[in-house]
Every structure is written in C-alpha cells, then in structure tokens.
A = this chain, B = another copy of it.
Amino acid sequence: MTSSGAPAPSDPPPGLGDQGDPATRVGALSEAQLLAAFLPRLPQAAPEHGHDVGNGDDAAVLRIGDERVVVTVDTLVQDLDYRAVWPNGRVTLGHDVGFKGVAQNLSDLNAMAAHPVGLLVSLAMPPGTPVDWVLSLADGIADAVRALGAQGCTVAGGDLSGAREVVLTITALGRLDEAGPVLRSGARPGDEIAVTGRVGEAAAGLALLDAAVPAGTAQGTTGRERALVEELVLAQLRPRPPLGAGAVAARAGAHALMDVSDGLVRDGERLARASGVRVDLDTARLAPFADRLAPAAALLGADPLRWCLTGGEDFGLLAAFPPGTVPPGFTAIGSVADGPAELLVDGRPSPTTGWDHFAA
C-alpha cells in the first residue's frame, strides 16, 4: 500500500483480473441474479413520481411533461452476441450488426405497443476496424429502419469511441397511443396465448452458422434447401420484428404483451411469473412453424420443434388475449389458467434450464 491508501501498481486491476474467489466474480451469477443485486441500489421511481413502468418490462415508460415516453437500451457485443467469423465461414457484415441492433431495440418498443420515434447510437470499436465495415454498419441501421417499417424514426445522436472489441449500444425512444402500453403482467385465467412474427427461425440460423461444415453445400442439396438455409441465416443475422403488431394487439385488447427474445419457453415463463398465472403452450399449434424448419433441421440432425420452443432472437410477440379476441396475424398457441405462476408445455413442466432433458 502506498501512503495514499491505494494498492501498489502490481495489484491486479479490478474488473480484469480473475484472481481470488471465482464465486465473487460476475461470471458466477446469472444476469437476473446480478440485476437483482444491482437494481435496488439505483434511484428508481415510485409510481407516484410520474413513472408508469420501470425496470422489468420490455422497456420503461417515463413521464416527461405531459407525454409518456417509452425508452429502451440494448447492447450487441462482438464474440458474445455475434461472431466476427462464424464456424461455418460466414463473415458478419457491419450491415448485419447495425440491422440487428436496430431490430432488437425497436422490438422492445413494439412489445410495449409503442411507435418508434428516435434512436441514439453508441459504437465502440478497435482502431483496426475497417472504415468500410463501420460505414456498412451505418447502412444496416438505415436499412433496418426502412425494412422494418419504422419510417419517421431517426437517429438523433450518438458517439463513437475505441474499445478492444465492437460494442454497439442502441437506445430507442417511442411514443404511445391511447391503447398502450401493454405490460407482460396482465394475463388472466381464461386468456388465449398467441404469437406473431417468426418462431424458431433465428435459432435455426444460429445452428446453421455454428455448424463447422456449411449446411446446404453437400452434393444432392436442392435449390429449395439452399434458399431456406440462407433465409434462416438471415433470420439470425437480420431479424425482422413485426413492428406495428404491438399496437394491433393493444387495440385488440391484449391483457399482456412482450417480445420473444429468449425463446417461447423462457419468455412465456416470464409472462406467467409477471402475471401470476399458469401458461400452457400447445405444441400441436407450433407444428406449422416446425414444419417450415424441418428441411434445415434434417440437414443438421436437429429437432425443429425444439428450435420453436427454446430459440430466441426472432423478436416476434407473445400476447395474452381475452378468449375469442385473438386478432388477425396472431396465432393461438396456448392458454392461461389459474394456478402457480409457471410455464407448462402440453400440460407438463418445462424446465428452462436443463432443457436437454425435455422430451419433445
């Protein structure tokens, strides 16, 4: 120790060293466990302070003056959220990263039945990053706004800085109409559970990208199979949340709404817990989704229904509607019942950890 009370320079840098008891490092905790310790230390609003929704839903609602503003932030980290080069040889373009960053943030607004208004972009990257890659990322942001139908949503600001790997943080702001927001906590016994958007496709794309041998290149592969492979890979690299469907659900009177970022089982369980109800998914209703993925699953020897149940990052919507009110564009896939707050699949418990033991 020096006289200033600081450790000597040879001490391990906090936040980098792996010395000491591994149990005291963040890697020993789940994100949920870490958040449970982190959040209570932060200044959070009591509802009477004029904040409608804080941490815990897809996005926050802040009352600013007379307006309710929906805000959310999400980060993409190289080699954690995507690979610069995938095992199958595919290179992640800047365009892909920009597109996905926008998609996952606008999905959070969609999940609150909010309309996108603006984005802030914070990009950190190594000095060796090709300029062309960064400009391609900007193009991916612009293309996502257009392709997802978020016209009028602009990039209002941001910053660029250095880092050891690419870290893209996007903040999205949205406005609500009279029908919104719809939270994940409002499902009631008797409701129907429904989805819209893609199910299982991003997971299929991830499995194809992670395959050491590029699928669809073997002799005898049909053109139709190759086209499906490319479509599923793009579902992973450039997911397409069904923007506008959140507002449709709100106007149809949805009791609960969230996006599917971590898979039907995990997110369905979150909806069940937040609402204090039992949610039961009916795999027979997922068959059309699984059938579409079957040719790709056959190439990898995978189970397409499992992709549908556990695959994340499609950014479709999961909603609970009063019986008989599921609007066009949504597919009923389950039901809500009184009982312990849990998720069932075909009437049986479905562990989200230890999913390997699930008999699909």
Contact = CB atoms under 8 A, between A and B. Distances in A.
Given A60-B120, A163-B165, A54 B2 contact: no
B75 A175 contact: no
A162 B80 contact: yes
A295 interface: no
B80 A161 contact: yes
Contact of A125 (B2, B15, B49, B142): B15
A329 interface: no
Given A27-B127, A41-B141, A55-B158, 7 more contacts: A4-B214, A14-B133, A42-B138, A62-B118, A65-B67, A66-B67, A71-B118
Closest 4 CB pairs of A and B: A27-B127, A13-B84, A60-B156, A67-B67
A128 B14 CA distance: 9
A333 interface: no
A142 B91 contact: no
A151 B8 CA distance: 37
A54 B158 CA distance: 10
A356 interface: no
Contacts of A135: 37-38, 41
A94 interface: yes
Interface string A52-91: 0011000110101111010111110110110011011111
Contacts of A118: 51, 60, 62, 64, 71
A94 B14 contact: yes
Contact of A72 (B35, B120, B153): B120
